[in-house]
Structure 1
């Protein structure tokens, strides 16, 4: 009876009735209100566009015309996330993400991402690059000019400062340097963390990748000069990385048995290093300028040394070990509880390495 009365009370459906409100057979009342609210919101947006539509459309067209993809850059070096903290001689054994995912974004760069870098396709003429760099730098600065720039930019309250962290000289940092050079002749760079172990490497990559010149160096503070003939309007095109790429997988740093040792000798060296007093204690994001010299001096009287890296972090400990392995040189034999154990190697290995350094 209820069904019959319901059919009699309602008129038959017609093609013109597109929007029928029937509460008993509707899901919820909120779902019915959303389309109506959306229509009102749509009408308001259309009215706003009608009032200022010309201005909004012109801005959209200008932004689309300004972004011409893919971006082409004439910089002669391979694009990497970090230039000072990566070694091109060490090849990765795997990737944590597919190499096809470029950190520059899909279709935004004319170079192909290999998983670690975006190589330059054209060959590099070193003589031509040197001429262009010398042309931008201009005549050498006088001592009075250098002293004036140093006094202006070396202080800690300088507004033209860039902090260099454990990533080292990164790709996006080059864009920050040129942005500061628009309004300032020099930029102050404060270095902290693992890159301070090798400040010569940091200075080389800053000058090589930016085209500037280091005019002041005091411990971990640098001043990078742009040059006399620097023109901000003719600055190089530097495409930005949209995200930090995942670090690839490299071979293990510490071998179960170091070269030149037996299994029992390696075990004894590890225990000896853990039970010895640390030669120095490193802090997180500290200044490690004197660490290499301290380790070299300690190896004159000790065979195994320990570095206390409490609260530094496991990843930073491994980075420090890699740097010390190449700079001292030495052999890391253990990373445990943020403690680094270094072995100086056999006497014949030390003599051969020192002979190679003297020859070079």
Structure 2
């Protein structure tokens, strides 16, 4: 009995395996002697009825590509008649100071092939730096030889000077309680793209308000001179960090100069070190002692982040009347910010930089000035005794 059951189980298992392994579809058409057409054959049936005609391929739409500055097909090169070199920041860079190296290749921040000026790593000069000689009366531009197009001067755009009544009306219109139009000048100073913002605001109003904060406010005179020189406008009001810039009587928005947009911020080049191992005129031991004294000296003032530092130079000069070393507390500021502040103080006061340790700016009056003041005092005393 058990043997009969086992044989039946083996028979059914083999039958199942044979049915699963069969690859050909089961059909009863041969039993009726019926031959189906090729379109209805079971082997050709894949869910869709074929008509025997070649299938038409659908033309797929090209994939969307976002706009890129590298696509210059059909676009013209931008030419600007502005008579000055294009730089990222006109207040925080000095053309007279040459760097010792660059941090990146000379990629133009205006985009490849967008401007007809050559990027040197620091600026895009009006005259091509590769040209050494120019024949004829014309000057060489970045695009090629030829005469430079006559540009309208700043005096022609400003026209007749404004009266006091006209200035008062323009200043009242540009105040905070009258309009929200304002351009913020921050840690990067007066940048190239700010020129575009100024002309965009001049399209709707005669005077625009500019708010200055951060490191550039140490030298407000430089900010004012660069604003008037690069925008061809006139500053009619200045109070603390607020400046109101007037466009001029003969300014026409439709005839505004062509200013190319700077697409990214170039990296700053490598400049020589501000703090040397030894200060000029001192030995190593004297320099160490001076730094120790500077860090222990009382703080002249504490600078806040993104504040107004327009009175800092005058404060340091007044402090040098009684002390030969001054310490400024810069805790909370970026390292690059208080290093720039020290560089500006060195040139404006003038003085010698001692150290930037512990987020402090320590400046020294200088040995030469100290000795010269002592000599003047001795000469004054001797002259008094002779009399």
TM over 0.5, yes or no?
Answer: yes
Identify the residue that residue 165 of structure 1 maps to in structure 2: 186
Out of 257, 267, 279, the position equivalent to 1:258 is 279
Out of 106, 109, 112, the position equivalent to 2:112 is 106
Query: 1:193, CA displacement in angstroms?
Result: 0.7
Q: Deviations over 1:218-254 (max 9, x none)?
A: 1111000000111000000000100111111111011
Q: Deviations over 1:87-114 (max 9, x none)?
A: 1121111111111x11000111100111
Q: CA separation in 1, counterparts of 2:277 and 2:191? A: 33
SS in 1 for 2:209: strand
Identify the residue that residue 125 of structure 2 maps to in structure 1: 119
Which stretch shifts more, 67-76 or 173-182?
Answer: 67-76
Give the aligned CA root-mean-square deviation in angstroms. Answer: 3.1
Q: Deviations over 1:180-232 (max 9, x none)?
A: 00000000000001111111100000000001000001111100000011100
Identify the residue that residue 104 of structure 2 maps to in structure 1: 97
Query: 1:269, CA displacement in angstroms?
Result: 0.6
Which sections of structure 1, spanning at least 5 residues, go unmatched?
10-20, 22-38, 47-59, 353-360
Query: 1:158, CA displacement in angstroms?
Result: 3.0
Q: CA separation in 2, counterparts of 1:215 and 1:327? A: 25
Matched-pair contact (CA < 8 Å) for 2:172–2:178: no
Identify the residue that residue 235 of structure 2 maps to in structure 1: 214
Give the number of aligned pairs. Answer: 304
Q: CA separation in 1, counterparts of 2:73 and 2:158? A: 30
Q: CA separation in 1, counterparts of 2:319 and 2:82? A: 43
Q: Summarize the alignment of residues 1-360 of structure 1 with structure 2, pairs less than 5 Å apart.
A: 68-99=75-106, 101-121=107-127, 122=139, 132-155=153-176, 158-348=179-369
Q: CA separation in 1, counterparts of 2:247 and 2:73? A: 27
TM-score (norm. length: structure 1): 0.78
Q: Deviations over 1:14-58 (max 9, x none)?
A: xxxxxxx9xxxxxxxxxxxxxxxxx99x87x79xxxxxxxxxxxx
Query: 1:273, CA displacement in angstroms?
Result: 0.6
Q: CA separation in 2, counterparts of 1:232 and 1:351? A: 55
Q: CA separation in 2, counterparts of 1:139 and 1:147? A: 16
TM-score (norm. length: structure 2): 0.72
Q: CA separation in 2, counterparts of 1:89 and 1:132? A: 25
Query: 1:8, CA displacement in angstroms?
Result: 5.2
Query: 1:179, CA displacement in angstroms?
Result: 0.0
Matched-pair contact (CA < 8 Å) for 1:69–1:109: no
Matched-pair contact (CA < 8 Å) for 1:160–1:184: no
Matched-pair contact (CA < 8 Å) for 1:180–1:187: yes
Query: 1:337, CA displacement in angstroms?
Result: 1.8
Matched-pair contact (CA < 8 Å) for 1:69–1:107: no
Matched-pair contact (CA < 8 Å) for 2:241–2:308: yes
Distance 1:94 1:65, change over 3 A: closer
Q: CA separation in 2, counterparts of 1:157 and 1:309? A: 36
Which sections of structure 2, spanning at least 5 residues, go unmatched?
1-16, 26-45, 47-56, 128-138, 142-146, 374-387
Query: 1:6, CA displacement in angstroms?
Result: 7.0
Distance 1:77 1:123, change over 3 A: farther
Distance 1:66 1:189, change over 3 A: farther
The structure with the larger Rg is 2
Query: 1:69, CA displacement in angstroms?
Result: 2.9
Matched-pair contact (CA < 8 Å) for 1:213–1:225: yes
Query: 1:304, CA displacement in angstroms?
Result: 1.0
Q: CA separation in 2, counterparts of 1:178 and 1:336? A: 42
Higher helix share: 1
